[in-house]
Amino acid sequence: MSPDRRTAGEPRRISERKDSFKTLSGIPVERVYTPRSVEDAGGQSHPGFPGEFPYLRGIHPTGHRGRLWTMRMFAGFGGAKETNQRFKYLLDSGQTGLSVAFDMPTLYGYDTDDPAAAGEFGKCGVAVSSLADVETLFDGIPLDRITTSMTINAPAAIIWAMYIVAAQKRGVPLSSLGGTIQNDILKEYTAQNEYVFPPEPSMRLVTDTIEFAAQHLPRWNPISISGYHIREAGSTAVQEMAFTLADGFEYVRWCLERGLDIDDFAPRLSFFFNVHNDFFEEVAKFRAARKVWAQEIKERFGAKNPRSLWMRFHAQTAGCSLTAQQPENNIVRVTLQAIAAVLGGCQSLHTNSMDEALALPSEKAVLLALRTQQIIAEESGVAGTVDPLGGSYYLESLTGRLEAGAYDYFHRIEDLGGVIPSIESGYLQGEIANASYAYQRELDGGEQVMVGVNAYAGDAPVDIPLLRVDMEGERRQVRGLNEVRRRRDNRRVKTALQALERAAGEPRNLMPPIIDAVEAYATLGEIMAVFRHRYGEYVPSWGL
């Protein structure tokens, strides 16, 4: 079919090649690249060595040749007991780190029996309402040897406190605990909308956790500055990198204003990025982000410790690229995305399961996703040398253009007064919305091809066993929660919550009183109610 006879919205076939190409961020792709291409884009024809500032080629001189990335599969559904069983299944299958998904009521800080939580138990992660749930969630798992990542934001300090107390009750010292809380509240206002409190008190809580970790948990990452959800909301790779790094700089400013020394906390800041479909652009994104972070932390903020300059990051394949149509195609997408993350130098990786556009991952699907990482690590050879694409004219050109795009956004954000004013004005949200709209129009018009959706589509039925959450689990969860409330010392709970209320109005770190409340078995909802009363709930004005 010739282009002039193609019906509206019908995509090109392989035999009908486009005259021009561009990356998903809209960067034009030339037919061939030369050293001049790298120079014109501001890239580096001689990008240096891995393990050397500005870490363009990786933070470690030996890369994955010296140590493989952590295989950290995101998991959680229903109650704590069921999720504990999934954790043990994954660890027995060769996973090397845990990553916890929480259900929607937990993410917003509600107990399972709160009316606001009705109908949402366990559907997108595990329900956690008290310390007792965390004790069950990690029962039989060696917390001094396994690192745990927890994707939670507004209630992050409380859930972290539950993990700390659960470990201490088992005799694990704080100095032995390793892991990450996501805790990136700025991207919630920008992209994911799972915020609760206004930006200022939310940033106070984040800063409290960073300060507490610097003083007491030397192996813990108190924040994972997340571009993943920015990309899932529809941003380009340039926007994902720029907005994520801008958020990171804002957290650094708050910690410095608190009086912390940058080299006391910056080595434990971590990042979380998306891995989308444009293979080379994704690899270039990781390299550019690593370079920009190192330069800015050294030159703008004056860090002296080389570890402060390292942009350590977890990567997850793009959930928004998964399709409900022909879901087996997702295995191929995830494999390519995972290789891009590895070649980009990730420190840990989650690979999505083929059925995630339909339901939470089944046991079979999640095992296949883990096996994908293991095959890449053990059979593909990509871990044998560090930054094997470094020096490619195309890749170095892309890296330079992504870096320039990030700095262009930094200047625009600064002109608006910084990250929080850019959020409150709706600027960042608007940029993401415009990019998402443009991408969807390209899909609808066939300029972007999604195999099985707008090209090579078929009507074959989906024949994949799907995970079903046991809704009887909600009743068990509520019974357990009521038992916690019955057996605890409610006078102690009341005293701890009153002490937390007073501390929330004082210029002091809130982690110790939060830990006291958690130890008394105050519930997540009860502790969040203290903060809701003190700080109020945030309602954005920019969209009104």
Q: How far apart are CA 347 and CA 192, in angstroms?
A: 24
pLDDT tens track, the chain, 544 positions: 333 334 444 544 554 556 789 999 999 999 999 999 999 999 998 999 999 999 999 999 999 999 999 999 999 999 999 999 999 999 999 999 999 999 999 999 999 999 999 989 999 999 999 999 999 999 999 999 999 999 999 999 999 999 999 999 999 999 999 999 999 999 999 999 999 999 999 999 999 999 999 999 999 999 999 999 999 999 999 999 999 999 999 999 999 999 999 999 999 999 999 999 999 999 999 999 999 999 999 999 999 999 999 999 999 999 999 999 999 999 999 999 999 999 999 999 999 999 999 988 999 999 999 999 999 999 999 999 999 999 999 999 999 999 999 999 999 999 999 999 999 999 999 999 999 999 999 999 999 999 999 999 977 777 777 777 777 889 999 999 999 999 999 999 999 999 999 999 999 999 999 999 999 999 999 999 999 999 999 999 876 5
What is the spatial distance between Cα 136 and Cα 128, in angstroms, rounded to a whole number?
10
Q: Give the C-alpha separation, 513 to 533, whole Å.
A: 16
Could you tell me where the DSSP H helices lie in 357-471?
363-379, 393-415, 419-424, 427-445
What whole-number distance in Å separates Cα of residue 158 and Cα of residue 172? 19
Q: According to the model, what pLDDT value does residue 13 have?
A: 55
User: What is the per-residue pLDDT for 16?
Assistant: 55
Strands 28-29 and 70-75: unpaired
Q: Measure Cα distances from 14 to 1, 165, 312, 430, 455 in Å.
A: 11, 57, 38, 34, 10
pLDDT of residue 8: 42
Region at 365 (left for phi over 0; alpha for psi -120 to 50; beta for the rest): alpha
- Identify residue 231 by its one-letter amino acid code: R
Whether the Cβ atoms of residue 355 and residue 364 lie closer than 8 Å to each other: no
**Which pLDDT score, from 0 to 100, does residue 6 have?**
44
Report pTM: 0.95
Contact indicator for 248, 224 with CB cutoff of 8 Å: no
Please check whether residue 327 is in contact with residue 358, taking contact to mean a CB–CB distance below 8 angstroms.
Answer: yes
Ordered domains of the chain (ranges, CATH): 35-66+94-100+130-445 (3.20.20.240)
| Cβ burial 178-215 (10 Å sphere, 16+ → b, else e) | bbbbbbbbbbbbbbbebbbbbbebbbbbbbbbbbbbbe
Looking up tokens 């309402």 gives 129
For residue 119 the two structure tokens come to 């109908």
pLDDT at res. 544: 57
pLDDT in the model for residue 20: 82
pLDDT confidence of residue 468: 76
CA dihedral 309, 310, 316, 320 (to 10 degrees): 20
CA 404 from centroid of its chain's CA atoms: 24
What is the distance between the alpha carbons of residues 94 and 472, in angstroms, rounded to a whole number?
Answer: 31
Q: From CA 317, how far away is CA 334, in angstroms rounded?
A: 6
* Contact yes or no for 124/104 (Cβ under 8 A): yes
